[in-house]
């Protein structure tokens, strides 16, 4: 492994990261395994090799959460599970972990299936659907039910969804162009960000206050309020921490899965054989009008592989920063304490040294038995180490069940002459994906003898 000298213009790479971020990231491996870049006036080092990235992720004491990304996230998310430093992370993770233990996924899978079916039940044949908005609405409803039960009515859920969309758009530019005074100017974009920021925090405060006065419930908020009430316990939960954890998990739980689902439906029409397999599997597994749930998950093998390959091609979490807590060596270079270090799952996932035909959408990489899909640990949609995403199993179940529920009823076609490209912001995915609904008719498979009540999807 080797390092490269800094490759930066005087004004830094922030503008390039805004204008053509994905091409820029893919170009960096040619300059070495650890490349120095500039984010505004700040020097930073981007790790381009999976071994370096794993070293960063496995040593969270040295490479702590920090850098411009987390400097912008902390005012929004506070000191929650995602943004807290190494010293407070273990206690916070233990507090949240019971909500995401495998035994709870069964309950959540029912919620996921209900909301996925509700999302597509209202669609009509031949109509145009804003898929990006629909997926964001779906994941907002699922996440809010898991965290807050039914504390949010439909209008407030929609308001939360809109706030999250505005905040994610604004966070990215604040990360790659970390010049604070620019974002205090009262431009329309800055005002939108501020309004969304204030409103989301007000909604969460209102929910917490109402629940303190009400009946305890078996959800994350209920667990946090119980821990707060146990003031003599080891958790030491405060009202501020409850607020921060809810904001954190709403933001991370809603946006990333919505972006993944939007990317799935943008990719399927361009890969008809893959789409056919997804439709056939939905028909075979979700028989007799079954609502998809935990029992159906093991049978959705192809659907899960499509979700995994989508996470490889368009990882919602595509660029992250860390800060060194002390002077350290990385790829033969001495980095000072306080240095900004970046890694990009998008860059790793598109490296031909790790994935054959990295720019092709090939879900079969992830079918059972394909153990060489990521031989060097280059597949990192949920990070690794002690800071690995706490909701990775939850997110995979939610996305898989949602794709299956929609694929059973509908084929989504792109608008004629329109191609929606993924848009990098704080997350990566299509943000204005509109598609046409086509109902899926089912007809008997020619030449196959079987029960007359069993049907398969019409050839497409």
Neighbouring CB atoms inside 10 A of 142's CB total: 26
How far is the C-alpha of 439 from the C-alpha of 126, rounded, in Å? 8
pLDDT of residue 457: 39
How far is the C-alpha of 225 from the C-alpha of 238, rounded, in Å? 9
φ, ψ of residue 424 in degrees (nearest 5): -75, 130
Helices (H), 30-181: 50-58, 68-77, 86-96, 102-121, 131-148, 154-176
Separation of CA 372 from chain center: 24
| Residue 104 C-beta-side C-alpha neighbours within 13 Å | 14
How far is the C-alpha of 104 from the C-alpha of 391, rounded, in Å? 12
pLDDT in tens, the chain (460 residues): 555 444 443 335 555 666 778 888 888 888 899 999 887 677 899 999 999 999 999 999 999 998 877 877 888 888 889 888 898 899 999 889 888 888 888 889 999 999 999 999 889 999 999 999 999 999 999 999 999 988 888 899 889 989 988 888 887 777 666 566 666 777 887 888 889 999 999 999 999 999 998 888 888 999 899 888 776 555 568 899 999 999 999 988 999 999 999 999 999 999 999 999 999 999 999 987 778 889 999 999 999 999 999 999 999 999 999 999 999 999 999 999 999 999 999 999 999 989 999 999 999 999 988 766 666 789 999 999 999 999 999 999 999 999 999 999 999 999 988 777 788 878 899 988 999 999 986 533 333 333 333 333 333 3
DSSP string covering 277-338, please? Answer: HHHHHHHHHSGGGPPP-GGGGGG-HHHHHHHHHHHHHS-SS--EEEEESS-EEETTEEEPTT
pLDDT of residue 105: 86
φ, ψ of residue 290 in degrees (nearest 5): -60, 135
How far is the C-alpha of 265 from the C-alpha of 288, rounded, in Å? 24
Nearest to 14 by CA among 193, 165, 179: 179
Token pair for residue 340? Answer: 């900004």
Cβ-based burial of 440 (10 A; exposed 0-12, middle 13-18, buried ≥19): middle
Q: Which residues of 392-419 are buried (b: 16+ CB within 10 A; e: fewer)?
A: ebbbbbbbbbbbbbbbbbbbbebeeeee
Nearest to 438 by CA among 128, 136, 134, 131: 128
DSSP string covering 120-154, please? Answer: HHT--TT-EEEHHHHHHHHHHHHHHHHHHTT-S-H
Beta bridge mates, 46? 35, 342
């Amino acid at each position: 492994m080797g390092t490269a000298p800094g490759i930066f213009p005087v004004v830094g790479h922030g503008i390039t990261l805004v204008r053509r971020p994905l091409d820029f990231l893919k170009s960096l491996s040619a300059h070495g395994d650890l490349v120095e870049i500039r984010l505004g006036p700040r020097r930073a080092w981007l790790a381009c090799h999976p071994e370096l990235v794993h070293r960063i992720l496995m040593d969270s004491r040295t490479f702590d959460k920090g850098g411009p990304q987390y400097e912008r996230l902390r005012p929004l998310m506070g000191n929650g599970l995602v943004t807290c430093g190494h010293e407070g992370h273990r206690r916070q993770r233990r507090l949240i972990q019971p909500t995401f233990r495998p035994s709870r996924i069964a309950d959540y899978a029912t919620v996921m299936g209900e909301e996925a079916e509700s999302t597509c039940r209202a669609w009509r044949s031949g109509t145009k659907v804003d898929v990006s908005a629909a997926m964001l609405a779906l994941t907002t409803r699922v996440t809010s039910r898991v965290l807050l039960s039914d504390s949010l009515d439909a209008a407030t859920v929609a308001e939360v969804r809109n706030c999250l969309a505005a905040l994610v758009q604004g966070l990215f530019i604040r990360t790659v162009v970390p010049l604070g005074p620019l974002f205090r100017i009262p431009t329309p974009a800055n005002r939108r960000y501020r309004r969304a920021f204030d409103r989301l925090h007000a909604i969460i405060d209102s929910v917490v206050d109402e629940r303190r006065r009400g009946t305890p419930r078996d959800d994350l908020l209920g667990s946090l309020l119980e821990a707060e009430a146990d003031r003599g316990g080891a958790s030491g939960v405060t009202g501020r921490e409850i607020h921060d954890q809810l904001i954190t998990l709403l933001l991370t739980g809603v946006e990333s899965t919505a972006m993944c689902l939007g990317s799935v439906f943008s990719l399927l029409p361009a890969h008809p054989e893959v789409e056919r397999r997804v439709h056939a599997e939905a028909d075979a597994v979700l028989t007799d009008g079954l609502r998809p749930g935990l029992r159906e998950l093991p049978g959705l093998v192809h659907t899960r592989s499509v979700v995994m390959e989508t996470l490889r091609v368009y990882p919602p979490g595509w660029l992250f920063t860390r800060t060194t807590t002390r002077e350290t060596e990385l790829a033969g270079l001495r980095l000072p304490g306080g240095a900004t270090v970046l890694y990009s799952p998008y860059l790793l996932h598109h490296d031909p040294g790790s994935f054959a035909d990295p720019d092709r959408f090939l879900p079969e990489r992830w079918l059972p038995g394909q153990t060489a899909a990521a031989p060097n640990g280059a597949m990192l949609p949920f990070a690794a180490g002690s800071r690995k995403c706490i909701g990775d199993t939850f997110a995979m179940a939610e996305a898989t069940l949602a794709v299956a529920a929609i694929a059973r009823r509908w084929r989504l076609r792109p608008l004629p002459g329109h191609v929606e490209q993924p848009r990098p912001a704080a997350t990566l995915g299509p943000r204005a994906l509109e598609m046409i609904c086509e109902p899926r008719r089912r007809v008997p498979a020619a030449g196959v003898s079987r029960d007359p009540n069993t049907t398969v999807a019409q050839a497409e």
